[in-house]
Chains A and B, each alone.
Chain A
Amino acid sequence: MELFNYILTIMPMMLTGLVTTLHMYFWSAIFVIPLAIFFAFLKVSGPRPIRWILNVYTWAWRGTPLLLQLMVAIFGLPTIGINISNKFAVAAVVFCLNNTAYVTEIMRSAIESVDKGQYEACQVLGFSRVWTILRVIIPQSIRIALPPTCSMMINLIKDMALVNIISLMDLTRSAYIISNRDSTISPYVIAFIMFLLITSVLIKLFGVLEKRAMRYD
């Protein structure tokens, strides 16, 4: 009973943390798919210099740990004179760019897996290049890329735990602070359960989405 009361008293702070985490997740996730589709198309059929830049981008962002990227942005950039006071925005941009690098590669391989004959068929039918891409290639690629993209989006919510290192009051940070203040483990357990619930809900949601997308297969 005592434990129950204690949990009730710390709940407001935990929930505020949860809201920050979800807020961050929203802003990190919302631009990933449009950006990734755009980048993937440039990678497949863009001009050579742009392709080269995008190759370096996906290689560098996928080859280094997210935590390091966050630290460079938060602690490193100010030392070379780039001072952005809005830590929340900086972190969201890092999360977005990191996840976009992975999803770009997923989209690229999905686009490349669409048969060459379809391009030729569209040409025969007199479709313009843009029309071919928008109406024929993209809808198919999205379907192929959906399952791995969904698992990237689930990874992204788990990556949100990293936010605490930049001392924003997210879920993990709140747990850390309450746990230090009250010398108890329960805030961590609550944060753990909250993450489990969110990922379970996301997995269910994406499962429904995948089923809907696959209904013509």
Chain B
Amino acid sequence: MAAGFWDYIVESMPSILEGLVYSVKLFFLVGIITLPLSMLVAVAAARGPKWFKGIYKVYSWLFQGSPLMLQLYLAYYGLPFFDVILPVDFVVITVFVLCFTAYQSEIFRGGIISTDIGQYEACQVLGMTKVQTMLRVVIPQTVRKVLPSTCSQAIVLFKDTSLVATIGVGDLLRSARALVIRDLRIDAFVVVLVIYLIISSILVAIFNKMEKKYSIYV
């Protein structure tokens, strides 16, 4: 590493940290909206009316079959052609939520349909309503079953937040690239690599703990 690595890092830290805050914010916002939304979508797709199942199929094909980056480009560069001018953050969050809901609802749906049909019948015999059956019997089991895949999806989400750098939003990666190109030094990339590694390792550790805790009853 070139001389003055630490001085350089300290000097460029504010702009890297600013990017980090944006990435973390985006991660939490998208996560918080995606989880309940995909549960709703999954319940409707598994037990809902036929027309919804049809729409769901097309939706998940569109969003799972194309690159997230292209979806971002299409929304970000495409909407202005229809005179739809929206705040960038709004567009970014919407695209991320739509894309990750497509993946997550498929995971939840798999969990819901794997619940034995006998359990629904048992609930009916016990006089539970459909909503009660879902909320108290099916969903708690589903959440436990799908925890591992949901956790790995969350790690994918955190890494994918870096894509916003390509449409000019100031996330972690964008700040680093700007520094590298301005100063022709690789140091900022090294710092960002380390930050991503630390955060994804922390996420993996937390999720492993969670999986251990909740897999007791599976």
Question: What's the dominant secondary structure at chain B's contact region?
Answer: helix
Closest residue of B by beta carbon distance from A176: B73
- The answer to whether A161 and B70 touch (CB under 8 A), given A75-B180, A188-B78, is yes
Q: How far is the CA of A111 from the CA of B98 in the complex (A)?
A: 36
Closest residue of B by beta carbon distance from A203: B65
Whether B87 sits at the interface, judged by CB under 8 Å, is: no
- Are B66 and A158 in contact, with the CB atoms below 8 A? yes
- Are B74 and A189 in contact, with the CB atoms below 8 A? yes
Closest residue of B by beta carbon distance from A188: B74
As a 0/1 sequence over residues 44 to 79 of chain B, the CB contacts with chain A under 8 angstroms (1 = contact) are 000000000000000001101111111101100110
Whether B185 sits at the interface, judged by CB under 8 Å, is: yes
Q: How far is the CA of A138 from the CA of B81 in the complex (A)?
A: 53
Residues of A within 8 A of B69 (CB): 161-162, 164, 172
Contact pick for B67, options A63, A159, A203, CB 8 Å: A159
- Are A175 and B73 in contact, with the CB atoms below 8 A? yes
* Stretch in B113-121, B135-143, B160-168 with 4+ CB within 8 Å of A: B160-168
Residues of A within 8 A of B177 (CB): 71, 75
As a 0/1 sequence over residues 172 to 191 of chain A, the CB contacts with chain B under 8 angstroms (1 = contact) are 10011001000111001101
Closest residue of B by beta carbon distance from A162: B69
- Are B186 and A67 in contact, with the CB atoms below 8 A? no
Whether A124 sits at the interface, judged by CB under 8 Å, is: no
- Are A199 and B66 in contact, with the CB atoms below 8 A? yes
Contact pick for A184, options B81, B185, B201, CB 8 Å: B81
Whether A192 sits at the interface, judged by CB under 8 Å, is: yes
The interface centre, meaning the residue of A76, A158, A199 with most chain B CB atoms within 10 A of its CB, is: A76
Closest residue of A by beta carbon distance from B23: A65
Between-chain CB contacts (< 8 Å), 28 pairs = A59-B197, A59-B201, A60-B193, A60-B197, A63-B201, A64-B196, A64-B197, A68-B173, A68-B176, A68-B196, A72-B186, A75-B181, A75-B189, A76-B186, A79-B184, A80-B186, A161-B67, A164-B69, A164-B166, A165-B166, A172-B70, A176-B73, A183-B81, A195-B65, A195-B66, A196-B65, A199-B64, A199-B66
In the complex, besides A65-B160, A66-B159, 4 extra interface pairs with C-beta distance below 8 angstroms are A64-B159, A158-B68, A188-B77, A196-B65
